[in-house]
Amino acid sequence: MKTKSKDISFTLLKQRTLLTAGGQLLVLPDVNQDSEINKQLFRYAEDLQQVIEKNERLNSHYKELLESSNHLLASRDELDKLLSISNDIHVVTDIEGTILQTNPSVKLIASPERIIGTNIRDWIMPSHIEQFNSMIHSEFNDQQQNLNEWELYLKREQSAEYMLIVTAKLFPVKVDGGVRNLHWIIRNITALKESEFEAKITSSVMSMSNEGMLVTDVEGTIIGLNPSFCEITGYSAEETIGKKPSILKSGLQDKSFYEEMWNKLSETGSWQGKIYNKKKNGEIYPQLLKITRTLDSNGRVLSYVGVFSDLSKLQKAEDDLAFIAHHDSLTGLPNRLLLKDRLNQAIANGRRNNFLFTLIFIDLDRFKEVNDQLGHDIGDLVLQQVARIMENAVREVDTIARLGGDEFVIIVPGLIGDENIERISSKIIQEMIKPMKIQNHDISIGASLGCAEFPRHGEDAAQLMRNADVAMYRAKKAGGNKYFIVSQEAS
Q: Which residue numbers are catalytic?
A: 406
Q: What are phi and psi of 190, to 5 degrees?
A: -60, -50
CA distance 329 to 338: 13
The answer to whether the peptide bond before residue 245 is cis (omega within 30 degrees of 0) is: no
Helix axes 376-393, 367-374, angle to 10 degrees: 140
Amino acid at 152: L
**What pairing do the DSSP bridges indicate for beta strands 164-175 and 178-188?**
antiparallel
CB 174 within 8 A of CB 191: no
Phi, then psi, of 47 in degrees rounded to 5: -60, -40
User: Which of 320, 467, 334 is closest to 399 using CA atoms?
Assistant: 334
- The beta strand positions in 78-149, using DSSP E, are 89-94, 99-102
Residue 315: strand, helix, or coil:
helix
Helices (H), 209-303: 227-233, 237-240, 255-268
Pick from 188, 21, 165: nearest CA to 89: 188
| Pair 454, 347: CB distance under 8 Å | yes
How far from the centroid of its chain's Cα atoms is residue 354's Cα? 56
Q: How far apart are CA 398 and CA 416, in angstroms?
A: 14
CB atoms within 10 A of CB 147: 11
